[in-house]
């Protein structure tokens, strides 16, 4: 039933449907999306503006439009719509609780060969610290499509992180703010955000062959966190792992550590699987960089099995 292989196409499809039914929808672009936005621009010329290569202004324009009744979306890649214009996102959009959804194509190592400038690997931690914002990292195109509608219903401020990859699971419905268990298991649990979910599932397959059943939970909504689901799963499994194509400081793993600690969940193991506190010094495609930094299925399986053995 689902024919879009890329999340960004699914997002644009959803936004087109929203634009068709609501003239308030405005797409404010940062001069990116060659070939991706062509159809939207042709169909909705009055609901589209290209702010040029000027992300601070793109965000401010979107905020001004939202404060006068528009439902604005900013669109760019990597860190450009978040870190480049962080103060516009904080002071203008979030402080005014403006109805702006920031869309970044290229989460994590999506643009791996392009270099560090294009790695979106601190975006989750930075955005989730902003008061009132909703932070979402879908794991596949169907989720991106569904969550775009749900974010629209909720209203901004919001951040939608679009990955190049896809978890590749059969399409199933998701609910904003509700974590989704995609594989059962009682020995350990791994919480994952974004398309890197596929690596968690690959690790679970490997571990299962060795007799360790890893529960896999897709946390597409990083903020607000689904505390009930996460703390319940953590308490049941007690060996906890988090996975993100992102630095370990402040992202999903940190959010879950905070949640578990504050809920008093007793843990035997807790490991955040993500990028260490260094910038990558090589480039490569997404699969290559995941493997290099211990984020591929094989590395995850090894991390989990060692931790569970050590912490029994």
Partner 1 sequence: MTDSEEFALKLRRHVVRMCSRGESSHVASGLSIADIIAVLYDGVLNIDPANPDWPERDRFILSKGHAGACVYAALAERGFFDVSALDSHYSNGSSLSGHVSHKGVPGVELSTGSLGHGLGVGAGMALNLRRLGGSQRVFVVLSDGECDEGSVWEAALFAGHHRLANLCVIIDYNKLQSLGRVAETINLEPFGAKWRAFGWNALRVDGHDHHALRAALAERADNRPTCIVADTVKGRGISFMENQVLWHYRAPRGEEYIAAMRELGVDVAMAQDA
**Based on CB atoms, which residue is closest to partner 1, 52 or 115?**
52
Shortest Å distance, C-beta 193 to partner 1: 30
Shortest Å distance, C-beta 90 to partner 1: 9
**Based on CB atoms, which residue is closest to partner 1, 26 or 248?**
26
**Based on CB atoms, which residue is closest to partner 1, 41 or 49?**
49
Cα(79)–Cα(42) distance, integer angstroms: 27
Shortest Å distance, C-beta 67 to partner 1: 6
**Based on CB atoms, which residue is closest to partner 1, 61 or 151?**
61
Shortest Å distance, C-beta 220 to partner 1: 29
> Are residues 265 and 233 in contact, defined by beta-carbon separation less than 8 angstroms?
no
Cα(245)–Cα(286) distance, integer angstroms: 10
Cα(44)–Cα(70) distance, integer angstroms: 14
Shortest Å distance, C-beta 38 to partner 1: 21
Cα(265)–Cα(122) distance, integer angstroms: 27
Cα(286)–Cα(291) distance, integer angstroms: 9
Helix 141-154 / helix 7-21 crossing angle, nearest 10 deg: 40
**Based on CB atoms, which residue is closest to partner 1, 63 or 237?**
63
β-strands 221-223, 25-29: how paired?
unpaired
Binding region for partner 1 (CB under 8 A): 26, 28, 46, 49, 51-52, 54, 56-57, 59-70, 87-88, 91-92, 95-96
């Amino acid at each position: 039933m689902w024919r879009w292989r890329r999340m960004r196409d699914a997002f644009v499809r959803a936004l087109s449907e929203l634009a068709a039914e609501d003239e308030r929808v405005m797409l404010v672009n940062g001069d990116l999306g060659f070939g991706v936005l062509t159809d939207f621009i042709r169909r909705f010329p009055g609901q589209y503006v290209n702010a040029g290569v000027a992300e601070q202004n793109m965000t401010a324009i979107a905020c001004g439009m939202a404060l006068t009744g528009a439902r604005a979306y900013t669109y760019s890649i990597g860190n450009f719509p978040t870190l480049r214009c962080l103060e516009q996102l904080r002071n203008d959009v979030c402080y005014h609780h403006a109805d702006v959804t920031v869309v970044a194509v290229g989460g994590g190592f999506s643009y791996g060969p392009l270099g560090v400038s294009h790695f979106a690997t601190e975006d989750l931690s930075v955005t989730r610290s902003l008061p009132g914002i909703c932070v979402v990292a879908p794991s596949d195109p169907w989720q991106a499509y569904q969550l775009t509608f749900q974010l629209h219903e909720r209203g901004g401020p919001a951040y939608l992180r679009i990955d190049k990859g896809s978890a590749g699971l059969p399409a199933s419905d998701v609910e904003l703010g509700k974590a989704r268990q995609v594989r059962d298991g009682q020995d350990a649990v791994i919480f994952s955000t974004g398309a890197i979910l596929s690596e968690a599932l690959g690790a679970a397959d490997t571990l299962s062959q060795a007799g360790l059943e890893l529960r896999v939970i897709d946390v597409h909504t990083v903020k607000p966190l689904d505390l009930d689901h996460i703390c319940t799963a953590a308490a049941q499994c007690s060996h906890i792992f988090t996975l993100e194509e992102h630095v370990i400081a402040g992202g999903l793993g940190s959010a879950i550590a905070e949640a578990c600690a504050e809920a008093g969940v007793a843990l035997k193991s807790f490991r955040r699987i993500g990028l260490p506190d260094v910038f990558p010094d090589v480039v490569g495609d997404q699969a290559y960089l995941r493997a290099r930094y211990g984020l591929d299925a094989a590395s995850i399986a090894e991390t989990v099995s060692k931790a569970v053995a050590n912490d029994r």
